[in-house]
Structure 1
Amino acid sequence: MKNTIFYLLDNDTTRNGLTAVEQLVCELAAEKFRAGKRVLVACENEQQAIRLDEALWQRDVQAFVPHNLAGEGPRYGAPVELAWPERRGSTPRDILISLLPWFADFATAFLEVIDFVPDEASQKQLARERYKAYRVAGFHLTTATYTPPGTT
């Protein structure tokens, strides 16, 4: 069965130049990498991919996450690949972490998808539309709450 988890964010605190969603993406990518999964992070645009690339490079040595921007890196890509609409990854991945504001048709190629419900009202509405699209596509849907560190 295909699964999608939506992380509900209770604020959008920016820290070290990353939004709450982007902070969580870095943590989830690291967690999935440590679990032996290959991850595609579908960014909204190239600038977001570059921000996440920099954030992943700046992690402590013990928390390093092998990653690359789509089209760069080793022949079959690093375990975590950062892509955006104009530059999609081409190697098979286990998990999609989607930062796209719309439902990505290619999401149906994944057994596991991670998506987000930001705190801002218009972004919540877009997340509701994606939630409906995942349901129509046959995904089992769950939610989880996330509070960025240092905001409680």
Structure 2
Amino acid sequence: MPRADFYLISKPRFREEPLRLVCELARKACDTGQPMLVLARDTGQAEALDDLLWAFDENAYVPHQIAGMEEDEEEAAVLIVPPDVDAASRPLVLNLRDEVAPGSYERVLEVVPADPSAREPLRARWREYLSRGFELNKHDM
């Protein structure tokens, strides 16, 4: 059964820099040997995440790159995909876009903003994943 995990931002360090949570989740996937796609909302977010993955933890290295930039992207543990760029599907997807993640995957991670007024699109995605038969989980971060 496919699974959707919703990560609700609550800790101050993630409120101030939500992409830091994305980096933590990417590192966790990398540490467990799970290649991950990160579906960025736009090119600016993809570039910001690329920069932050280099710098967020001096003791961690998360092999990553932005899709469409180089030929060997299937070797990157974390592939950051801007809109309008095609990338091969992977079993684990972290979705930062406003719609349900497209394609086929075993597990999708959704980051829920700290601001309650920004959560409605996530509630709609929760219902959509539920209707598609996903097992749903919520985590307070």
Q: TM-score, normalised by structure 1?
A: 0.83
Structure 2 unaligned regions, length at least 5: none
1:49 matches 2:41: no
3-state SS of paired residue (2:5): strand
CA RMSD of aligned residues (A): 1.7
User: Does residue 1:140 correspond to 2:138, yes or no?
Assistant: no
Which one of 69, 74, 77 corresponds to residue 76 of structure 1? 74
Where do residues 1-150 of structure 1 align in structure 2 (5 Å cutoff)?
1-10=1-10, 13-14=15-16, 19-20=17-18, 22-60=19-57, 62-73=59-70, 74=72, 76-90=74-88, 92-106=89-103, 109-146=104-141
The 3-state SS of whatever aligns with 2:110 is: strand
Query: Given that residues 15 and 114 in structure 2 are in contact (C-alpha distance below 8 angstroms), is that contact kept between their aligned partners in structure 1?
Result: no
Deviation per CA, 1:67-102, whole angstroms, max 9, x where unpaired? 110012425241110002111322x42200001112
Normalising by structure 2, report the TM-score: 0.89
Separation in structure 1 between the aligned mates of residue 116 and residue 23 of structure 2, nearest angstrom = 24
5+ residue gaps, structure 1, are 147-152
Match of 1:150?
A: none
Rounded Cα–Cα distance in structure 2 between residues aligned with 1:117 and 1:58:
23
Q: Distance in 1 between matches of 2:8 and 2:56?
A: 24
* Contact 1:43–1:85 (CA under 8 A) maintained in structure 2: yes
- Please list every run of at least 4 consecutive aligned residues from structure 1 whose deviation after the TM superposition is greater than 3 angstroms: 59-62
- In the comparison of the two structures, how many residue pairs are matched? 138
Q: Is the 8 A contact 2:67 2:85 kept in 1?
A: yes
Q: Distance in 2 between matches of 1:126 and 1:100?
A: 10
- Judged with a 3 Å threshold, the aligned counterparts in structure 2 of structure 1 residues 111 and 36 are, in CA distance, closer, same or farther, namely same
Contact 2:65 2:73 in 1 (8 A): no
